[in-house]
Structure 1
Amino acid sequence: MAITTITLRDMAERMTRGETFSVLDVRSRNVYQNWMIKGRSLAAVDVPYYDFQADEVNDQLLPARTCVIFLTLHDSAAQNVADRLVEKGYEVSTLLDGYTAWDEFVVESTLLVNAQVKLVQFHRLATGCLSYAFVSAHQVAVIDPIRFIEPYLAFAERENSKIETVIDTHVHTDHISGAQALLGVTRAAYLMAHREVHQTALPVTRLKRGTLRFGALDARVITLDTEGNAPGHSLLVLDRFGIFTGDALVVGEVGIPDLPGVAQEWAEKTTNTILRELQAYPDDMLIWPGHFSDVQEVSKNGMIGTTLGQIRSGARRLSVSNVLSFADHPRDFVSQLHPNSDEIMRINTGQIALEAHDAKALEREIRL
């Protein structure tokens, strides 16, 4: 049996058919933790190449009857391990374009289609970033775009519509926003949370509380006075079809306060503020977050989201005298700080420019 090559698209299609894969990563442990491949039906295993012996492979590391995917075989040690696994009867493939392919891979899922709106969600699986686009009356709005803008342009073209609005729910400090790139190829209006407009030289419109019209739909804007490196956040309630929460509410955890030493305190304050702001909405109102923290949050149909009722239920389980307490769940409910947050914020507010290859290097240092 020979070592074959597989594309990430082929992997994704096979996983939707129920196939499982073992991803064998031979990078050092700290690099693996910072940028790991993950996905439903994937079992990622990290064994640094220097831990391998040319004549020894521990079968207990890998589930039986799965295809073993190497992210790269450029190193002789990795090649030796791959050859050894083939000898032991494993189906072994190497991922075409390796880490670069995984870095740029975006999955699109349709969340809603009716006479008024079509709403899609984009997952950047390597970073856990979620972004959205919806079209109504041939007008497209993009929410929290990542730096790879081709999926949004393709969506608008398929829908025979134009991107009229780009929204960042806040200044992102964990990844490069695609807003500037989209503004460079469209005539879209750029909207961002109210307290952050003064930080940027970009052609941005101040996003205030109130109602906005998108095609045939109304959306309610809720602005939050959150703390941290990127003060200010906004929620967007799209008619009855869901609430886009950015990083303020994330499936599996609360938002990223970016306050060293007092993250727990501000996580509690932010979540309580959000729940009060949304108290008039029903439990079945859908929540569409800007990130996901665990691959198990991906549903079988590829969507990532929750309901307001589930958020409320989780808050009640953690409540003490009606005040949230995350003291016993710091890793589960408060995101880690990002080492390059200051520089990424300056990029996303137009204070400094960055070439594409620098953006990739900067993002890869982020620990999710």
Structure 2
Amino acid sequence: MTVQVMTAKEVTKKVINKEKLFILDVRNEDAFQDWKIEGENVKYVNVPYFDLLDGVEEIMDQLPKNEEILVVCAKEGSSIMVAEMLAEEGVEVSYLQGGMKAWSEYLEPVKVGDLQDGGEIYQFVRIGKGCLSYMVVSNGEAAIIDSTRMTDVYTQFAENLGVNITHVFDTHLHADHISGGRVIAESTGATYWLPPKDATEVTFAYQPLDGGQEVTIGDTKITIHALYSPGHTIGSTSFVVDEKFLLSGDILFIDSIGRPDLAGMAEDWVGDLRESLYTRYRELSDELVVLPAHFMIIEELNEDGSVAEKLGTLFAKNHGLTIENEAEFRRLVTENLPAQPNAYQEIRKTNMGQLTPDEETQREMEIGPNRCAVR
């Protein structure tokens, strides 16, 4: 048997299409338990690489017969060696190119809607990390919202569409991933917008984004309306795009709500979070399609791989939006928090411009799942 190579893009397609996939993950158990490739029809077994140095004979009965196996490790090296041993045993086997680092960084672009006068909005699904970013396109211009540090994906996508990036936004100061907003703005000459209440310690120039502001993309009146919605951070700002879409940042997700503690201010900001979700958002149209900045579980993906749901549906089904008692809401938000994101303080400082880690360090800082939501 010959060892095959499977890319993060190919694995993403299998997850979105709910195809069968059996994974042999050879990372250490703690890394596997913290973060793994998941999907509706994905099955896996975890056997650390060091347990396989003498061969794979002892795990053959744990593997399915007549089914392709994908071997996964952190960076690909260990998975290649294990895949070669399995191939010698006659197993149809592939390894994940670039390992979990590649899985963490892959972005899948999905068109989520049409705007007036030919405009479009795209969602970039970072399936291995749960991050969601956006590009609004209209009449030769584009705006990017909540970009990741993989900036080439956005600039190349815009180039392929034949549009110029003129505006870049961050809905808030991110703590779970490094923003590429400033880099994109510097390379394209675009205006970089940041909520000023989140930017008191930044070291670079930016355009202050305040609630009520409107930015036009192209000449066709596609407007991005800023809605001040603190709670996840004190500056968190949502966007209503073309009166059709609500980009909710990390305030509201499909199956949960944003956590208020990543700047150490849970008790102070929980009231802002409730005000944003239970007052400001309830004044909006139920027909707005919510496009969050993250998803938590793979089940939140729609059939086309997008993450989106109408606001009215979320008010009916999202458990974070149905707690009438304010004291109970406070308990949920302040006592039911998952572990904080890996290296989140360093990530915040990087997004402020206070740290400038090299590319490999940035990768290491981001490894693992996002943890932006209340459980």
TM range (shorter): 0.7 to 0.9
Q: How does 1:1-368 map to 2 (within 5 A)?
A: 1-13=1-13, 19-39=19-39, 41-51=41-51, 54=55, 55-57=57-59, 59-60=61-62, 62=63, 66-72=67-73, 74-75=77-78, 79=81, 83-84=85-86, 87=89, 90-114=91-115, 115-215=117-217, 216-226=221-231, 230-258=233-261, 263=266, 270-313=273-316, 314-315=318-319, 318-321=322-325, 325=329, 334-364=337-367, 368=371
| Rounded Cα–Cα distance in structure 2 between residues aligned with 1:33 and 1:334 | 18
* Of 39-48 and 355-364, the range deviating more from structure 2: 39-48
* Of 256-265 and 128-137, the range deviating more from structure 2: 256-265
TM-score when normalising by structure 1: 0.85
Contact 2:142–2:158 (Cα < 8 Å) also in 1: yes
Q: How many residues align?
A: 362
Instruction: Give the 3-state SS of the residue equivalent to 2:199 in structure 1.
Output: helix
| Rounded Cα–Cα distance in structure 2 between residues aligned with 1:182 and 1:201 | 17
Q: 1:260 to 1:47 in 2, by over 3 A?
A: farther
TM-score when normalising by structure 2: 0.84
Paired amino acid for 2:7: T
How far off is 1:327 after superposition? Answer: 5.3
Contact 2:26–2:78 (Cα < 8 Å) also in 1: no
How far off is 1:101 after superposition? Answer: 2.4
Instruction: Give the 3-state SS of the residue equivalent to 2:154 in structure 1.
Output: helix
| Rounded Cα–Cα distance in structure 2 between residues aligned with 1:80 and 1:343 | 34
Instruction: Give the 3-state SS of the residue equivalent to 1:288 in structure 2.
Output: strand
Q: 1:321 to 1:205 in 2, by over 3 A?
A: same
Contact 2:178–2:350 (Cα < 8 Å) also in 1: yes
| Rounded Cα–Cα distance in structure 2 between residues aligned with 1:355 and 1:342 | 16
Contact 1:113–1:119 (Cα < 8 Å) also in 2: yes
| Rounded Cα–Cα distance in structure 2 between residues aligned with 1:367 and 1:132 | 18
| Rounded Cα–Cα distance in structure 1 between residues aligned with 2:154 and 2:300 | 23
How far off is 1:39 after superposition? Answer: 4.5
Structure number with higher strand proportion: 1
How far off is 1:233 after superposition? Answer: 0.6
Contact 1:255–1:335 (Cα < 8 Å) also in 2: no
Contact 1:191–1:207 (Cα < 8 Å) also in 2: yes
Contact 2:210–2:228 (Cα < 8 Å) also in 1: yes
| Rounded Cα–Cα distance in structure 2 between residues aligned with 1:324 and 1:40 | 33
| Rounded Cα–Cα distance in structure 1 between residues aligned with 2:40 and 2:268 | 33
Instruction: Give the 3-state SS of the residue equivalent to 1:250 in structure 2.
Output: coil
How far off is 1:242 after superposition? Answer: 0.9
Q: 1:56 to 1:146 in 2, by over 3 A?
A: same
Contact 2:12–2:127 (Cα < 8 Å) also in 1: no
Paired amino acid for 1:32: F
CA deviation digits over 1:153-173, x for unaligned, max 9?
Answer: 122212222111110000011
* Of 138-147 and 30-39, the range deviating more from structure 2: 30-39
Paired amino acid for 1:221: A
Identical-residue share of aligned pairs (%): 26
Gaps of 5+ in 1: none
How far off is 1:36 after superposition? Answer: 2.5
CA deviation digits over 1:121-145, x for unaligned, max 9?
Answer: 0011221111000111222110000
| Rounded Cα–Cα distance in structure 1 between residues aligned with 2:263 and 2:180 | 27
Instruction: Give the 3-state SS of the residue equivalent to 1:342 in structure 2.
Output: helix
Paired amino acid for 1:223: Y
How far off is 1:338 after superposition? Answer: 2.0
Contact 2:290–2:310 (Cα < 8 Å) also in 1: yes
Q: 1:251 to 1:79 in 2, by over 3 A?
A: same
How far off is 1:299 after superposition? Answer: 1.2
Gaps of 5+ in 2: none
Contact 2:7–2:96 (Cα < 8 Å) also in 1: yes
* Of 51-60 and 133-142, the range deviating more from structure 2: 51-60
Paired amino acid for 1:5: V
| Rounded Cα–Cα distance in structure 2 between residues aligned with 1:298 and 1:245 | 16
| Rounded Cα–Cα distance in structure 1 between residues aligned with 2:135 and 2:322 | 33
Contact 1:28–1:49 (Cα < 8 Å) also in 2: yes
* Of 138-147 and 22-31, the range deviating more from structure 2: 22-31
Instruction: Give the 3-state SS of the residue equivalent to 1:200 in structure 2.
Output: coil
Alignment root-mean-square deviation, CA: 3.2
| Rounded Cα–Cα distance in structure 1 between residues aligned with 2:110 and 2:273 | 29
